[in-house]
Amino acid sequence: MKPLSWSFSGKNTPMRIQAITEVEIAAIAEWEYPDQLATYNHEEIELGNDSFFAVYDEEDFTGFGVSGVDAIVQGLEENAVTLDIGLGMAPHLIRKGLGKKFGKAVLAEVAKKATYGGYTYLRCAIYSWNEVSLHIAKSAGFNEVKTIVNSNGEFIILKTSTSELKV
């Protein structure tokens, strides 16, 4: 297996999307986020689950995206016209100015899946305290639709039509 590199390539290079492999899944399992972000430490991904995909900045594994039922948080229902989305960035890359670029790469990939799947809307659930992620989602065209509370915390639910997505 090819080892993962962990350098930072920069804001102006395009990101690459690929199927997630055992290498990325193992890396994600070892990620430890600091402070309040530690709520993201428990990601479990099964190999062969095509809901998940890996995101690379040049040769550097940056994070993952997920769409469909695997992205739905407790308290939300699956919807035939809405594709749920989520993402996770490597903890050592947080607060390095890569969030918007990473988010847009994930959204571009999910937008393709939404188009091919016949979905009209994209929906995401973001912890209410995660102001950076909320800002990135809103700058991509998402709007707050409601707040839910479940056993994991309080989430802001955001939604956009696929035609209004800004990537």
What residue ranges define each of the domains in the chain, with the CATH number in brackets?
A: 15-119 (3.40.630.30)
Residue 10 pLDDT exceeds 50: no
pLDDT digits (tens, 9 = 90+) for 96-116: 988 889 999 999 999 999 999
The pTM of the full predicted model, rounded to 2 decimals, is: 0.86
Q: SS3 for 140?
A: coil
Q: What is the DSSP letter of 114?
A: H
pLDDT tens-digit readout, 12-21: 558 999 999 9
The Cβ of residue 52 has, within 10 Å, a number of other Cβ atoms equal to 24
